[in-house]
Amino acid sequence: MMQGAGHAVCLGPDIDTDLVIAGRYLRTKDHSQWVAHVFEDLDTSIAPRLMGAIIVAGKNFGGGSSREQAAIALREAGVVAVIAPSFARIFFRNAINVGLPAIECSLPCLNDQNIRFDLTSGWVETSGKQFPIRPLSPRMQEILSSGGLVNYWKAHQ
């Protein structure tokens, strides 16, 4: 998914992967079970607002455990993209590899405000203002638009 839009859900800095999805929920193959529990230990009112949302977080999103489930849980919950000034590197890789755009950008955030982005041309837009972002490599763009690395390679065999 190279272009997208959604309503903003604003979060603070240093949200680690344990806060995204708590360790006690990991042991299941049914990923849809995570939808109700995303951000549960941070604020239980967040999960119901995530369908079609763009998360706008503070610095260092996704630190801590390298669990790939954190990125999968956000995708399953209907999150369109995560925007933050910086990401912990493993989360960043995991997000791209499961087909969830992780966009490096410092963005002012107002809850429920509309946000649009275009990863091919390299911008994020909110309240009529455009913020430039660095273009992704061609391979990263293909991985995202196929919905992740496994799908990408299934299709390219």
Using CA atoms, how far apart are residues 97 and 124, in angstroms rounded to an integer? 21
What is the C-alpha end-to-end distance of the chain, expressed in Å? 21
Using CA atoms, how far apart are residues 16 and 3, in angstroms rounded to an integer? 26
Q: Which of 97, 101, 124, 126 binds other proteins (CB under 8 A)?
A: 97
CB of 92 to other proteins, least distance (A): 7
Using CA atoms, how far apart are residues 116 and 130, in angstroms rounded to an integer? 9
The stretch among 18-26, 45-53, 94-102, 108-116 that binds other proteins (CB under 8 A) is 94-102
Nearer to other proteins among residue 25 and residue 152 (C-beta): 152
CB of 27 to other proteins, least distance (A): 16
CB of 7 to other proteins, least distance (A): 27
* Contact positions with other proteins (CB under 8 A) in 45-64: 60, 63
Q: Assign 3-class secondary structure to the chain.
A: CCEEEEEEEECCCCCEHHHHCCHHHCCCCCHHHHHHHCCCCCCCCCHHHCCCEEEECCCCECECCCCCHHHHHHHHCCCCEEEECCECHHHHHHHHHCCCCEEECCCCCCCCCEEEEECCCCEEEECCEEEECCCCCHHHHHHHHCCCHHHHHHHHC
CB of 49 to other proteins, least distance (A): 28
* Contact positions with other proteins (CB under 8 A) in 106-145: 134-140, 143
Nearer to other proteins among residue 34 and residue 87 (C-beta): 87
Q: Which of 23, 26, 106, 153 binds other proteins (CB under 8 A)?
A: 153
Task: Report if residue 72 touches other proteins, rule: CB under 8 A.
Answer: no
Q: Which residues bind other proteins (CB under 8 A)?
A: 14, 60, 63, 66, 68, 86-90, 92-94, 96-97, 104, 134-140, 143, 149-150, 152-154, 157
